[in-house]
Amino acid sequence: MAQHGDTYLDLIDLYQREPAKMGMVPLINMLSYETPMLQDAVVNQCNRGSYNLTSLLTGLPSGSWGAYYKGTAPSKTNRVQITDDVGFYESMSVVDTRILDDSANPAKLRQDEAMGHLEHMSQKMATSILYSNSYVDNNEFLGLAPRFKYFS
């Protein structure tokens, strides 16, 4: 079970950030990393309401070398249909108004908390695009690695 201090911002957190109400202590974010893949991510509306149906090309047609008086063998592509479900990943930042009242800079305190949540969600989404697996956890969507593992 999570401790109360692990879930909610408390006075200890406030005083670590604002010692003796001298203002906010500068934050060095060692947990941040760039996720440029999210800047290139494309968002589409689902084509079937609450899920998206796509067709994945899994095999190319074969060809044959030609010769006089020799026919060409027919061939076709191979495809599989994939159903992608909608996934929601959420985070909630809660700061008690009494903590904000005790803060020297409540707006900065809320911003710092929100930025931590946004950083976490950014890292989680970048990892999920690559590795999440709806066959393991049906609340997730199917990431690229398991998609090509299952359908190649």
Whether the pTM exceeds 0.85: the reply is no
Q: What is the largest CA-CA distance in the chain?
A: 94
Identify whether the C-beta of residue 144 lies closer than 8 Å to the C-beta of residue 50. no
Return the SS3 of 17: helix
Q: How far apart are CA 116 and CA 139, in angstroms?
A: 23
Identify whether the C-beta of residue 54 lies closer than 8 Å to the C-beta of residue 80. no
Q: For 60-115, what is each residue's pLDDT tens digit?
A: 999 989 889 988 889 999 998 988 888 888 999 989 999 999 888 899 889 988 98
Please report which confidence band the pLDDT of residue 126 belongs to, taking 50, 70 and 90 as the band edges.
Answer: very high
The structural domains of the chain, with segments of one domain joined by +, span 115-152
- Both ends of the chain: CA-CA distance in Å? 41
Place of tokens 């994939």: 82
